């Protein structure tokens, strides 16, 4: 791929790829500042990148990647944004497949802040998963929410009118973390991003969710089995041996009606109180910051299909070694 990017940016190594394009490191030719560029073919059936660029501009705020520009060059749509660190999925591997309660709860508070901000801007993310939360390249204690290719406006910003209830929808997002309502084919609303976050928390604490690895011959069969497992696993069983706050959180998410505004401030308080109860401080000392062992050789940049680019190890080492 030979991109000139208007002569302003020089593309470098590939960081990864996913459902909506490929991500590369690039350097600003005048300043040598490193940025990330996301590239998709504009011949693709459903181009997403320019839509995502508009959203980043609208959602500007703490923990949201800064949009530096979006251009069309030849057969490609290109978005230039802040270069960020590795995803929480990769950091989980770095921390041997599980996060501590301390790290998971501090993550939850920041993730709730990101979801609250996005919803205050009248949008749903619709693909909450560990790959879509990353750390800052200069501040590894700051968690960013990324990849807004599936985001959708749920409320008219002028009138405040909520989108209508619909049934029979195809699953949008990642089945492992999708809400039960999403599996049932209901139009997504604010409650669904929150339920997905609940599953991410359990995945971090336990290392695996009960519906992972179910045998299936087709994607349709796999989705059906995941849905059945979620329906048939009581929340109390799902959260067994964990502090009661996690079951309380998921029960709250499941209790919300379609148009309900979640009380995210109460949810953040729930987890802040859990830290106090466990004599833990909200000190931003995440597992990946405290851990000073060698970065495993197989860690890279994971895309939405689970494939990795091992050359991302160097950036992880660089970020984690910064004071």
- The catalytic residues are 127
User: Which distant-in-sequence residues (6+ apart) come within 8 Å of 99 by Cβ?
Assistant: 92, 107, 204, 205, 287
Q: Is 280 exposed, middle or buried (0-12, 13-18, 19+ CB in 10 A)?
A: middle
Q: Give me the residue label for tokens 């329906």.
A: 231
How crowded is residue 314: how many other Cβ atoms within 10 Å of its Cβ?
11
Distance between CA 285 and CA 203 in Å, rounded? 20
Q: Give me the residue label for tokens 């200069």.
A: 138
Q: Where are the alpha helices (DSSP H) in 25-72?
A: 49-58
What does the DSSP 8-state code read for residue 24? E
Distance between CA 127 and CA 264 in Å, rounded? 18
Torsion of CA 182, 183, 186, 187, to 10 degrees: 30
Q: 40: left (phi > 0), else alpha (psi -120 to 50), else beta?
A: beta
38 annotated ligand binder: yes
Which residues participate in the annotated binding site for ATP? 38
């Amino acid at each position: 791929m030979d991109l000139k990017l208007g002569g302003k940016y020089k593309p470098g190594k590939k960081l990864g790829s996913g459902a909506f394009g490929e991500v590369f490191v690039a350097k600003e030719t005048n300043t040598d500042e490193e940025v990330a560029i996301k590239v998709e073919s504009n011949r693709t059936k459903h181009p997403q990148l320019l839509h995502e660029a508009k959203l980043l501009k609208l959602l500007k705020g703490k923990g949201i990647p800064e949009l530096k520009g979006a251009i069309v060059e030849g057969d490609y749509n290109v978005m230039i944004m802040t270069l960020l660190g590795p995803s929480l999925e990769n950091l989980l591997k770095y921390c041997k497949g599980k996060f501590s309660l301390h790290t998971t709860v501090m993550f939850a508070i920041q993730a709730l802040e990101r979801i609250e901000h996005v919803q205050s801007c009248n949008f749903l993310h619709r693909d909450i998963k560990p790959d879509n939360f990353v750390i800052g390249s200069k501040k590894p204690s700051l968690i960013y929410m990324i990849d807004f290719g599936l985001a959708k406006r749920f409320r008219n910003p002028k009138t405040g009118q909520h989108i209508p209830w619909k049934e029979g929808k195809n699953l949008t997002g990642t089945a492992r973390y999708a809400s039960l309502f999403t599996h049932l084919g209901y139009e997504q609303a604010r409650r669904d991003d929150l339920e997905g976050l609940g599953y991410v928390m359990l995945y971090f604490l336990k290392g695996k969710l009960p519906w992972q690895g179910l045998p299936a011959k087709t994607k349709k069969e796999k989705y059906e089995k995941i849905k059945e497992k979620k329906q048939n696993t009581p929340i109390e069983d799902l959260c067994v041996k964990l502090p009661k706050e996690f079951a309380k959180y998921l029960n709250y998410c499941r209790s919300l009606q379609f148009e309900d505004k979640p009380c995210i401030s109460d949810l953040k308080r729930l987890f802040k109180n859990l830290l106090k109860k466990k004599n833990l401080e909200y000190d931003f000392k995440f597992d990946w910051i405290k851990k000073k062992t060698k970065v495993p050789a197989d860690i890279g940049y994971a895309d939405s299909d689970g494939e990795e680019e091992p050359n991302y190890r160097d950036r992880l080492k660089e970020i984690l070694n910064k004071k």
